[in-house]
Structure 1
Amino acid sequence: MKRRNFIKRASISSLGLVVAPSLTTSCVTDEKGTTAISNKKPVLPVVVATWRFHNATKAAWEVLEKGGESIDAIVAGCRVEEADLKNTTVGNGGAPDRDGNVTLDACIMNKDGGYGAVVCMENIAHPISVARKVMEETPHVLLAGKSAEQFAVEQGFKRENLLTENSKKAWLKWKEKSEYKPIINIENHDTIGMLAIDANGDISGGCTTSGMAYKMAGRVGDSAIIGSGLFIDNTIGGATATGMGEEVLKTVGSFLIVELMRQGKSPQEACEEGVKRIVKLNPNYKNFQVGYVALNKQGEYGCYCIHGGFGISKYQEGKQDYIESDFYTKKEA
């Protein structure tokens, strides 16, 4: 199934963005040298996520609505998709690598800049929760492979087979030709990256994925890597990514977007610049997709991608919305 075509950004603007009357922001620097966005009254709490993950944003919103912290909202939301067997790009039921093994990557960041991640982890259904344990229970920030799995078991997680019959059948079908070529927007879901700000104004983020279907064994994308698939700065905001992880890694995309917001750009402007950096560096950009989502401390969002088909779920002011992103190649059509 192809995702719906995008509505024009101008159309979104004409309807009036729910989050604020304008995406324009300004920055001020206090006596300590800390830069913060401050010219609008925040519209909080708020949660945004890549793709049409309405159940995930709803679960996160329910935590925020009760006065919960953003870090707890992130875990609650991401776990919904990790448990969804119909979602073959996240958690249990994820598509395997070319050897038939489901390997999961995830990371989480909190309001204090804390970071935890796992990569190439097998047999554990909720890597977002394991990533949080890495952040909170160890002196490290990233665990890999069998060691990550063993750590999870020591923390009380149970081993289970993550390769469902449907994913196994699809993998066996792929093996008939074993052709590896990422197809843009071929599925109606992908990596979930989530950003949330609680009523206290504190932002956290998380990202979880099973990575590219039929990838080489040991491949790690951007999702679990700080600054690439996710970055949080509680004085500015956060950003997360989806799509071709290799291209996001090369430009440290999420960190770039947060730094652009620090310089005064709106979340939308920052996401657009992040995509343009990738396009400029790779002349083959027409062959892959990358999408970014950003959220600043005022609760204002931005999203942008290379090709049409990407969008974000947003829960704010008690209302669930799906926003289709503007995209780079539209101007080339």
Structure 2
Amino acid sequence: MKWGIIATWEMALEGVTKGFNGLKNGMSCDNAIEEAIKIVEDNPKYKSVGYGGLPNEDCEVELDAAFMNGDTLSIGAVAGIRNFKNPISIARQLSNERFNCFLVGFGAEKYALGKGFEERNMLTKESINIYEEKRRKVIEEEFNPYEGHDTVGMVSLDVEGKMCAGTSTSGLFMKRKGRVGDSPIPGSGFYVDSCIGGAVATGLGEDIMKGCISYEIVRLMGEGHSPSEAAEKAVKDLNDRLLKRQGKVGDISVVCMNNKGEWGAATNIEEFSFVIATNDLPPTVYLVSNKGGEYIERNKIYRY
């Protein structure tokens, strides 16, 4: 039986490596995804996820996360949660709830506290310094603060054939308080069905949500498209539609895997990094561009 894990952005390499080692030893995809994303969340050098994530307009770190079980289609998600470590774990816990599985703000924090999740101030000195500098630029130079929206998203397949997906992000830098992007929204930031496959997205949530792109990729794989074909078609179609309708489009990047362990990625930006590991491929960072047609790893090129 094939197994594997794929994730957005090179920052996921350490987490994917841990998930890869777990899957190799029979770990479930649930645990592999959670443990892999927690590693990204806990590292303050990654400014768009978890601890040290870039704050909102009020200099608060508001986090969004989601988890989906591809066997049952159960979903758990939190949005705008503050002062709790590892929102991916809270989202996974919520996926076990029949009702009230998507909580926001104070409600999410109350739930996390009641379930005994670890409280932590997620704002670091460095993120405060970056906030103050950007705020100065916004005031003095009319600088656009909306940057740094690199969600970590992962899809995993285990040896039992079960699939899961997860996402975690601090969202747009200097976003309005309460803003929620695509990352915790089912069908937009993530979707997985063990009978077909799964996909996750990263980029400008306001545009990604206009196309429900993760669900679309899974739908296309279900119709027989390879993961690479499905990813590329979904990104191109949404990009072209938004350009036609609104004259501009933000960053859109995706990764996906089907239930055979085959994988793909696509983007509308010049260069997007992702990490893939399977039973026959060790954790590897690839790049894909908006030209499509190939994945580049150091001096190697994988054409599809």
Give the alignment's TM-score, normalised by structure 1: 0.81
Amino acid at match of 1:299: G
- Alignment of 1:319 with 2:279, yes or no, is no
Higher RCO (CA 8 Å, separation ≥ 6 residues): 1
Change in CA separation of 1:182 and 1:328 when aligned onto 2, cut-off 3 Å: farther
- Alignment of 1:225 with 2:225, yes or no, is no
- Alignment of 1:70 with 2:70, yes or no, is no
Number of the residue aligned with 1:88? 47
Amino acid at match of 1:327: N
Q: Distance in 1 between matches of 2:291 and 2:64?
A: 28
Query: Displacement of 1:272 after TM fit?
Result: 1.0
Amino acid at match of 2:266: Y
Name the SS for the 1:205 alignment partner: strand
Unaligned runs of 5+ in 2: 294-304
Change in CA separation of 1:329 and 1:217 when aligned onto 2, cut-off 3 Å: farther
Number of the residue aligned with 2:251? 289
Amino acid at match of 1:92: Y
Query: Displacement of 1:73 after TM fit?
Result: 0.5
- Alignment of 1:120 with 2:74, yes or no, is no
Amino acid at match of 1:173: E
Q: Distance in 1 between matches of 2:80 and 2:28?
A: 28
Name the SS for the 1:303 alignment partner: strand
Name the SS for the 1:327 alignment partner: coil
Deviations 1:142-183 (A, max 9, x none): 000011011101111132211100000000111113233545
**Contact 1:239/1:254 (8 A) holds in 2:** yes
Number of the residue aligned with 1:56? 15
- Alignment of 1:207 with 2:167, yes or no, is yes
Amino acid at match of 2:263: Y
**Contact 2:146/2:175 (8 A) holds in 1:** no
**Contact 2:242/2:248 (8 A) holds in 1:** no
- Alignment of 1:46 with 2:8, yes or no, is no
Q: Distance in 2 between matches of 1:128 and 1:64?
A: 18
Name the count of aligned residue pairs.
284
Query: Displacement of 1:282 after TM fit?
Result: 2.0
Query: Displacement of 1:312 after TM fit?
Result: 1.1
- Alignment of 1:250 with 2:210, yes or no, is yes
Amino acid at match of 1:276: K
Query: Displacement of 1:140 after TM fit?
Result: 2.1
What are the within-5 Å matches in structure 2 for residues 300-311 of structure 1? 300-311=262-273
Return the match for 1:238 from 198, 216, 231: 198
Q: Distance in 2 between matches of 1:238 and 1:158?
A: 29
**Contact 1:303/1:311 (8 A) holds in 2:** no
Return the match for 1:103 from 38, 62, 69: 62
Q: Distance in 2 between matches of 1:266 and 1:152?
A: 39
Number of the residue aligned with 2:105? 145
Q: Distance in 2 between matches of 1:285 and 1:308?
A: 19
Q: Tell which deviates more after alignment, 89-98 or 128-137.
A: 128-137
Deviations 1:185-243 (A, max 9, x none): xx7x9211001100111111100000011111111000001000000011000000001
% identical equivalent positions: 34
Q: Distance in 2 between matches of 1:226 and 1:253?
A: 10
Change in CA separation of 1:262 and 1:117 when aligned onto 2, cut-off 3 Å: same
Q: Distance in 2 between matches of 1:259 and 1:74?
A: 22
Amino acid at match of 1:228: S
Q: Distance in 2 between matches of 1:209 and 1:61?
A: 22
- Alignment of 1:180 with 2:144, yes or no, is yes
Give the alignment's TM-score, normalised by structure 2: 0.89
Number of the residue aligned with 2:298? none
Q: Distance in 2 between matches of 1:228 and 1:248?
A: 6
Change in CA separation of 1:177 and 1:326 when aligned onto 2, cut-off 3 Å: closer
Q: Distance in 2 between matches of 1:127 and 1:295?
A: 23
Query: Displacement of 1:138 after TM fit?
Result: 5.5
**Contact 1:303/1:326 (8 A) holds in 2:** no
**Contact 1:251/1:277 (8 A) holds in 2:** no
Amino acid at match of 1:80: I
| TM-align CA RMSD | 1.8
Query: Displacement of 1:45 after TM fit?
Result: 1.5
Q: Distance in 2 between matches of 1:314 and 1:212?
A: 25
